[in-house]
Structure formats: structure tokens, C-alpha cells
Copies of this chain bind each other. A is one copy, B any other.
């Protein structure tokens, strides 16, 4: 559908007509906004495992991606794995960069701000003393994460304002900075 819209509604590759229509639709019927995302994972061997991302629930219906996505994870040799794929903590950095960047593109489009480049480096510091059980004073996860964005396009102040708005409305930024309750159930047969 998006390909048949006049070019004027597309900015930064974002279909702004569809974006505003989505906001209006959820505003009119808030139940459309209740989404549930899902991944199923299967252990392969050692630290190597694979998730499948396929269906999700949203807009009052079960939906499917256009194709199922398979995501592998592993540890490098220095962390006693076979390095078949990125580590889980690297996937988390990708999730953070990707969410902020998608938000930047959407918000810029909605504001009529043109982007020519959005690139970023995300780094996280982690001390293995936690994970390895060698210190109760050291947390298991990242101690801090730094994101460095480079943006080119319209006026620099407008670009900075777009990044700030993306930070304020990013799902993954909220999850990573504020935390989420996680329950774990186990079927051990």
C-alpha cells in the first residue's frame, strides 16, 4: 500500500501518512495499541542457541512477520564458546541502537526534518567478576552503556532535538534504563 502513496508523504523512507493514521487509530481505539511480542529459543550445544521470531499480537489480532526470522547466539572462545554468533549482551546493544535509530527516523519524518545520515556506536562495560560468581559486589550486567550518535541532514539543533525526543519515546531505552519485571516458569520433566 505504501508504495502507491504520493511521494510527498514519504520522508526519510517513513510513510508519514501511515504514521499519523496509526497514531489517530490508536487514539480513537486504545485497545489497538496492546501488543505482545514473542521469541522462541532452542538450545543447540554449549553456549550456542537459536531463537525464532515469527508471530506477534497487536491491533486486536495475531499477526505474523512476512517471514520467520532466525537469530543465533553464542559466546566467543575467550568466553568458552565457539563464536558462531554474537553474544546475548551484544544483541542487547543492537536492540538499543536500532530502537533509538528507528525513532529518530520516524520523529524526523513527522517533524519534516530531513536526515542524510544516522550512525551510532553503542558500548557497554561488563565485569566478569559478577557473572563468574567471584564477587558479590559486582553486578552481572553492564555497569554503564554509552551511545554516540552522528547525524547529518537539517539544522543541527533540530537534529539534536529529534534524538532527544527519540530517547524520551524509545521502548528499548526505557526497558534498559528502568528495568522490567521478568517472571520465569520451568517445566522440568
Q: Which residues of A contact B (CB under 8 A)?
A: 1-2, 12-15, 18-19, 22-23, 26-27, 30, 32-49, 51, 53, 56, 58-59, 63, 65-66, 69, 71, 73-83, 85-102, 104-106, 115, 117-135, 139-152, 156-157, 159-160, 163, 167, 169-189
Contact = CB atoms under 8 A, between A and B. Distances in A.
Given A83-B66, A140-B173, A177-B180, A121 B89 contact: no
Chain A at the B interface: mostly helix, strand, loop or mixed? mixed
Most buried by B among A26, A88, A115, A121: A88
Nearest to A88: B99
B98 A37 contact: no
Contacts of A129: 26, 30, 33
